[in-house]
Structure 1
Amino acid sequence: MIPSRKSSDGANRKSATKIPVAHDKHSDDEAKMMADVAKLNTLSIRFTKFKNMLELPNIDLEQLRKLSWSGIPEEIRPTVWKLLMGYLPANSDRRESTLQRKRKEYEEFVAQSFGKGKTSLDQALHHQIHIDVQRTNASIPLYQNPRIQEALERVLYCWAIRHPASGYVQGINDLVTPFFQVYLQSYVKGDVERTDVDSISEETLTDIEADCFWSLSKLLDGIQDNYTAGQPGIQRQISRLKELINRIDAPLYSHLQSQGIEFIQFAFRWMNCLLMRELSLKNTIRMWDSYQAEGTDGFSEFHLYVCAAFLVKWSNELKKLEFQDMMMFLQSLPTSTWDEKDIELLLSEAFMWKSLFHNSPSHLASHGPS
């Protein structure tokens, strides 16, 4: 009896290894197709929600922020960003006239600064901006084009001379490019980073330039103490990041301390350039959807928690390294393969940490209510 039972089990096992393999593959294909369909349906529903909201005579900005937190469809991102940044009014009747007036105002700024040629400019300021723009997004063809570089130089120069309290600080050159890329996207087809710049009219480029100037101004108004003398805003953010990591991941904090790693050595750049040197421009743009949805504190308060989540993400790797290797790792983090899902996970973790710690007694005692 026993051998025959063995034989029967063997036969059953043999047949069981054949049929499910084919079935599993079919199931996987079907599941993938269903997931793709579900994703398309979700995107379609979200797009319709945005479209309906943007067609209202008066947009509820709070509702627009809530909808934008999970990402904004590429086709309507330029309009949504202008609304969320406070560049365009919520009232649809006033929108076009506001746009024309602000663009005209920027043209006048450019004429005042550049009208007499480059020799009349503040040479030291212009030279610094010129050098930084040459290095901006060096791997992206769009930003190596002289027309684009000159447009960025004008935006940065005009902003700097109108903000003498801070003036131009290296790193601000990075912050203008997400706006430029998003606003250009509405005028071109395909991959915006490989756009044929010769196909862009002068009038279009001038409009994009003006929109970038005003959007950058709005952004920097909220984090201006990051760029005033001594950069107190950044110093404060780094101090708070240090405190947060100690509370979120004490073993990582202890390891950084034991190796003599100062937070300013790696986190200064994270605050100064809003992680743009660590993430691709496309990923930065997705991140900024959520930053703007967070409201006035998105680029300061929420960014702090994103930096905390970002550092903790590498905790296991960092705890195995000593000072020299750790510094090298932190200066060149392996994010080149990151996509939108990685960014959304990072944002979700940051939201969680903010929910847990932002209004905690320790935070309020140390820093006062924000």
Structure 2
Amino acid sequence: MSSDGNKKQFWKRNAAKVPGSIQHVYGAQHPPFDPLLHANLIKAGNKPPPATPGKPKKATTFQEFESITSDAWDVGDDDDELLAMAAQNLNIEVVMETANKANNVVFPFEPNTLAISPDASFASQGSPYADSRLVKSHSEAPIGSPREDLRKLSWSGIPRQVRPIAWKLLSGYLPANAERRESVLQRKRQEYFGFIQQYYDSRNDEHHQDTYRQIHIDIPRMNPENLVLQPKVTEIFERILFIWAIRHPASGYVQGINDLVTPFFVVFVFEYIEEEVENFDVSSLQEEALRNIEADSFWCMSKLLDGIQDNYTFAQPGIQRKVKALEELVSRIDESVHRHMQQYEVEYLQFAFRWMNNLLMRELPLRCTIRLWDTYQAEPEGFSHFHLYVCAAFLVRWRKEILEERDFQGLMILLQNLPTMHWGNEEVSVLLAEAYRLKFAFADAPNHYKR
């Protein structure tokens, strides 16, 4: 470095993000970073530097520079104290308070007119939540990030009437610019049906017939049966899954991918009907509507799988890593449950593989999966990263039932048939709030998984 000016610039580069500094975890607005609740954290993290009269002495050596700099080189127990304060403040009362408030959030948009802008907020929309912590968190968003505004609003759930367009925006399928949406939709839909014309006739070729046969076998096993067993729906799902497999030879079709079509398909059907889709004859929709639903479902599912494709490549390494991370996390947050399963030789892979492979779709009713995906799409890396904390919270949620089982068979039957059939938004909101608490404590400190 040739000058003192360059030295100063070098040492201060990215000063706000050096290791050891306190950073807000994304999603801290759900529950928001409350100045009253976390007063201790703010005091500990924002101590004003001591005033020094006169011109400060210029650092001539690294040791002198270190002695007058408060950043990543500081040594002490501050991090442990902060973590302890965070754990103390983020207790179950916070989880319940957040979950209850999440159930009462008003989504400030009318159906079919969803347009987001950098200066939209709960306050400007006249929501009763205008003076809440969500508005403060919203105001901290970087200017010019309309999709981030939508993510914040969507974390606590999206009303059914605006969910189709919100999901398309959150997944990145639709641009935030409203003027470009129609042209993008037309182009992507035409592109999908171009794939159909190009590839679908090859489904009976020798090198593709095994893929198509497996898809054809798996679709009738999906839920809800009243929907997927309709011939028109089966035909649509077969096309979507086959085209995706042909265009992604690194993984091809893997069992479990078929389940990921259903939430998108159901949500996009809601654009055209008011009743529940499980009891609706999909073939009664106009042909143009069916084509739109099919193409939109394909592209949004593709966007989802782009972020978790290592779950479905050879040997499924993504799932292996996540199950191992789940085991380590549970051993830290609930040692009794972890030791109980070790005692009866229950391997996490035996039950959690399906949780990762199907994103809990086989464990929850479809209505709960859709609500869960509202938050997954609002979280950065929701399907690939936040899902881990949801699985941990989900497992610990059944600690009483788990500890009551006294043999391997009983534990496996319980873990593969958890009683969630009557779950609704309230249970999912509590689950997500607890998952957020775990993320807050562990997300940026993976070594805290281990003892």
Q: TM-score range by the shorter chain?
A: 0.7 to 0.9
Counterpart pick for 1:319 among 403, 412, 427: 403
Equivalent position of 1:164 in the other structure: 249
Equivalent position of 2:358 in the other structure: 273
CA contact (8 A) 1:114 1:121 kept: no
Equivalent position of 2:128 in the other structure: none
CA contact (8 A) 1:291 1:299 kept: yes
CA contact (8 A) 1:84 1:293 kept: yes
Is structure 2 residue 46 aligned with structure 1 residue 46?
A: no
Equivalent position of 1:300 in the other structure: 384
CA 1:266–1:90 in 2, change beyond 3 Å: closer, same or farther?
same
**Could you report, residue by residue, the CA deviation over 1:222-272 in whole angstroms, capped at 9, with x for unpaired residues?**
000000001000000000000000000001111111110100000000000
Is structure 2 residue 373 aligned with structure 1 residue 288?
A: yes
Counterpart pick for 1:100 among 172, 186, 195: 186
CA contact (8 A) 2:200 2:243 kept: no
In 2, the alpha carbon distance for the partners of 1:94 and 1:121 equals: 39
Equivalent position of 1:133 in the other structure: 219
Query: What pairs with 1:105-120 in structure 2 (closer than 5 Å)?
Result: 105-115=191-201, 118=204
In 2, the alpha carbon distance for the partners of 1:310 and 1:184 equals: 29
**Could you report, residue by residue, the CA deviation over 1:29-80 in whole angstroms, capped at 9, with x for unpaired residues?**
xxxxxxxxxx9x956x423489886265987011100000000010010000
Deviates more, 1:316-325 or 1:152-161: 316-325
Higher helix share: 1
Query: What pairs with 1:183-222 in structure 2 (closer than 5 Å)?
Result: 183-222=268-307
In 1, the alpha carbon distance for the partners of 2:114 and 2:205 equals: 48
Residue 54 of structure 1 aligns with an amino acid whose one-letter code is A
CA 1:177–1:258 in 2, change beyond 3 Å: closer, same or farther?
same
Deviation of 1:118 after TM superposition, in Å, equals 4.9
Counterpart pick for 2:393 among 302, 306, 309: 309
In 1, the alpha carbon distance for the partners of 2:110 and 2:284 equals: 33
CA contact (8 A) 1:180 1:208 kept: yes
SS of the residue corresponding to residue 319 of structure 1 reads: helix
TM-score (normalised: structure 2):
0.68
Equivalent position of 2:439 in the other structure: 354
CA contact (8 A) 1:50 1:67 kept: no
SS of the residue corresponding to residue 168 of structure 1 reads: coil
Residue 298 of structure 1 aligns with an amino acid whose one-letter code is G
Structure 2 unpaired stretches of 5+: 1-100, 119-143
**Could you report, residue by residue, the CA deviation over 1:288-338 in whole angstroms, capped at 9, with x for unpaired residues?**
00000002x100110000000000011111112121100111111111111
Counterpart pick for 1:230 among 309, 315, 319: 315
In 2, the alpha carbon distance for the partners of 1:97 and 1:177 equals: 26
In 1, the alpha carbon distance for the partners of 2:329 and 2:256 equals: 24
Counterpart pick for 2:151 among 54, 58, 65: 65
Equivalent position of 1:74 in the other structure: 160
Residue 275 of structure 1 aligns with an amino acid whose one-letter code is L
Deviates more, 1:246-255 or 1:139-148: 139-148
**Could you report, residue by residue, the CA deviation over 1:115-158 in whole angstroms, capped at 9, with x for unpaired residues?**
47856882111000011111111x44121101001100100000
Deviation of 1:91 after TM superposition, in Å, equals 0.9
CA 1:184–1:118 in 2, change beyond 3 Å: closer, same or farther?
farther
In 1, the alpha carbon distance for the partners of 2:416 and 2:427 equals: 19
In 2, the alpha carbon distance for the partners of 1:324 and 1:42 equals: 41
Q: Percent identity?
A: 54
Q: Aligned residues, how many?
A: 325
CA 1:357–1:273 in 2, change beyond 3 Å: closer, same or farther?
same
Residue 302 of structure 1 aligns with an amino acid whose one-letter code is F
Residue 108 of structure 2 aligns with an amino acid whose one-letter code is F
Equivalent position of 1:341 in the other structure: 426
SS of the residue corresponding to residue 279 of structure 1 reads: coil
SS of the residue corresponding to residue 108 of structure 2 reads: helix
CA 1:153–1:117 in 2, change beyond 3 Å: closer, same or farther?
closer
CA 1:118–1:46 in 2, change beyond 3 Å: closer, same or farther?
same
Deviates more, 1:297-306 or 1:118-127: 118-127
RMSD of aligned Cα (Å): 2.4
**Could you report, residue by residue, the CA deviation over 1:9-47 in whole angstroms, capped at 9, with x for unpaired residues?**
xxxxxxxxxxxxxxxxxxxxxxxxxxxxxx9x956x423
Residue 95 of structure 1 aligns with an amino acid whose one-letter code is R
In 2, the alpha carbon distance for the partners of 1:281 and 1:356 equals: 29
Residue 254 of structure 1 aligns with an amino acid whose one-letter code is R
TM-score (normalised: structure 1):
0.83
CA 1:361–1:342 in 2, change beyond 3 Å: closer, same or farther?
closer
Counterpart pick for 1:153 among 225, 235, 238: 238
